[in-house]
Chain A
């Protein structure tokens, strides 16, 4: 069957089997290997991508179900000018990753969390990433990474608002 979807801003059309999982479509058909596959029971969340803005476990979505939808993967997380998303920056600053295998999924969830809740508490961050497993970090530094991103985005917003005021003046 033929599917068409927007992946990281670009439209792609492919001929696929109906049973193909989205995670394999992204990795094997599009070469977007940042999204990983860590379990077979939908528990680990290393495969999390965003579909129409919502984090989904792409091992539990058929590629055919993404037909007509917009998918963002870790490769599409950086800003259009190529600079890193604050979430990516935060994970580096706060040592929120070690082997890097859970990192893409964790960051996609964190991005979705900050989009709907720009100032989450630590408990809210823990809740948001509770569908995901990390074996290296023990989570504390991941929580710090997400909070770092939230603080820096808030600072960016403040400074952008100040610039706006300056321009208006």
Chain B
């Protein structure tokens, strides 16, 4: 059998993936596939309690296990100064608990043994005595007088307050709310969920005591940033630390933070002098690694009677768990939540947010949130629908009336974000065309008359991706720029080295396409190297849909840099001045004399070969660049969801979902479509099924796939996608990020559809996840908030 013959584009366009041949043969190489001589296995003992003082830990029985090599507790780490590590939010997090445990599932001790099964056995032999403390579970009472203090390790900390943050103009907002005809207020919860990549987190640490060199295979989305943090924690110099992110089985933001397990495997390898593997299981992943969302928002919207939106404001309580470990740029403790004014041209906006410690796992920024834009978009798209409900107007008409107009770009929002470009109405019209919106409304009217429950939900969103300009954005002081290096070999084949790290988004294909487009070398002749800090230029990694905006720009510019040098070499070869040369993809020719031309491959050979080069030109055909973006990119989209609800069981069925995305220039439409499909599935999962909740004792109730429900092929429809193209004016190839758009944009569309279906019951809002019981409660007039 042969593949369907398809002409490969030299550059942008649909192209099958270079990654696939190894994956479909089972020849990917993920962390747990790494086997090293003498490798030992590490397992972590976790706290069964949410909040308790550690009275004693007896490891003697575990130490005596014949296959056990080492048992390590927090006290052991404290002796080495390694019991605590910095987080990506400049807080500290316990590697292993010393004084007390602060969430169920927290790391308490670890065992290193000859095999994984023995390591698990030995965990059972460790005896920990706990002294129970009252847990802080409900974030709404966490700041009350007398609430237990989660972080008594911090000096003078007598409450659970982490930080306050605000944006916009409170007085201006007050003024427009005072003059508004209509004000709608709604409490909107974005519940705690989890990114749950199919591959959990893990690492293999291999410390070579002779060279003093650490190699760490790790599930990391940001290998260079991790290396710097390990240098800080372990006291090893960066040039002696090599972090390798091999194939990663999905990340979705869950593999940005540094987890205690990685540090434990490093410490273990340092202690025993052998390679040590740690791979967590699913329940460990769900209870202890980075959660997402957990924003409790009061949204308010002010408008005129005829539907002109005047202002939006909100008050947010953010549950950050026991350690503030959220991955966000230093100056943005609430991420990019400030874009909560959405796609609308309004007069005033204001947000206030308070972040709080509770006895839960740390996290917050994950699951394709683009640094809290999921929450921002959910808030604005829900509150706009609440306004439409109040005014009794079609949500499409309300949006059309208030969308920012194309001539207003670049548009500065009332919270200071400068949207780069957008032509919103055609995108919305395209979604309505694909969905046949008017026909859907007619169908709905007929069904309503018969007592059937059908809902149509709309979401129009503006994303903000591509962090970011280094004057404003850094992670732990590391500027959010990205490097790229391109080497063209003598025969015209090339290798491009990236600082970002794919977890399935197809970078090995699309980055070769970006370079091919600029320099005319076929995609198959370009290899993409990523994920090895010894091999790749420094950069901040893949999250926040930043690969295309930042690293993609770097790839295009590094190729142009090489092309500029190639032009000078070509001028020598053609004996023509540089100004007389013309570039057609893959070759330079003399203007007006196209017969006189040299290909990029011929130039590459000359660059490395015998013979003189033009004066001042070094041999070789390589370049390196570090790209500092001048702004974020702001892709947008219009989503329409159609649901049917069984009136007898309150079960929601997503019947159709139309997603029209605009991410500017499209590098590979096939890959974009796949990114959108995946994100829409996240959205349906979050809207209808997924939630990490806790009981009053702080027990995690979503700690396995038995309870944490992820959509299967039966819960999602066949996705329908479309697109418009509004390039980013500041990006070298006009491309915007897109990977997270669907996860950001789809939950409000699903919830708006469900609420729309429940309109006959007078329902204006109900919180996710809209499980049958939740929908049933809403239908019966007592929708309860999600906690």
Which residues does A use to contact B, with CB under 8 Å?
A: 17, 19-20, 24, 27-28, 31-41, 43-44, 46, 73-75, 77-78, 83-84, 86, 88-89, 91-93, 95, 97-104, 107, 122, 125-127, 129-143, 152, 156
Contact = CB atoms under 8 A, between A and B. Distances in A.
A20 B117 contact: yes
Given A99-B504, A122-B718, A74 B249 contact: no
A138 B30 contact: no
Nearest to A132: B712
Nearest to B199: A101
Interface in B15-37: 16-17, 19-30, 32-33, 35
Q: Give the interface SS of chain B, mostly helix, strand, loop or mixed.
A: loop
Contact of B198 (A17, A101, A126): A101
Contacts of B27: 34
Contact of B23 (A32, A33, A100, A143): A100
Contacts of B21: 92
Across the A-B interface, give the 10 residue pairs with the lowest CB-CB distance, nearest first.
A34-B26, A99-B504, A101-B249, A100-B23, A138-B677, A98-B504, A74-B26, A43-B705, A138-B681, A33-B33
A150 to B, nearest CB: 13
Given A17-B117, A93-B16, A139-B716, A34 B25 contact: yes
Interface size, B (range): 35 or more
Interface stretch (B325-333, B343-351, B422-430, B666-674): B666-674
Nearest to B251: A99
A152 B4 CA distance: 10
Q: Give the interface SS of chain A, mostly helix, strand, loop or mixed.
A: loop
A99 B268 CA distance: 29
A8 to B, nearest CB: 10
A137 B678 contact: yes
Contacts of A19: 117
Contacts of B678: 98, 135-138
Given A130-B712, A140-B716, 7 more contacts: A33-B29, A36-B199, A41-B704, A88-B24, A126-B713, A135-B250, A137-B678
A133 B23 CA distance: 17
30 contacts: A24-B116, A24-B117, A27-B32, A33-B29, A33-B33, A34-B26, A38-B200, A38-B249, A41-B704, A44-B282, A84-B1, A84-B25, A88-B24, A91-B20, A92-B20, A92-B24, A95-B17, A95-B674, A97-B24, A98-B675, A99-B247, A99-B504, A100-B23, A101-B28, A127-B713, A132-B712, A135-B197, A135-B678, A137-B681, A138-B678
Given A36-B249, A101-B30, A92 B705 contact: no
A24 B27 CA distance: 17
Nearest to A129: B713
Find the residue from A73, A125, A126 having the highest chain B CB count within 10 A. A126
Contact of B705 (A31, A35, A41, A129): A41
A153 to B, nearest CB: 9
Interface in B173-210: 196-200
Given A95-B670, A99-B503, A130 B24 contact: no
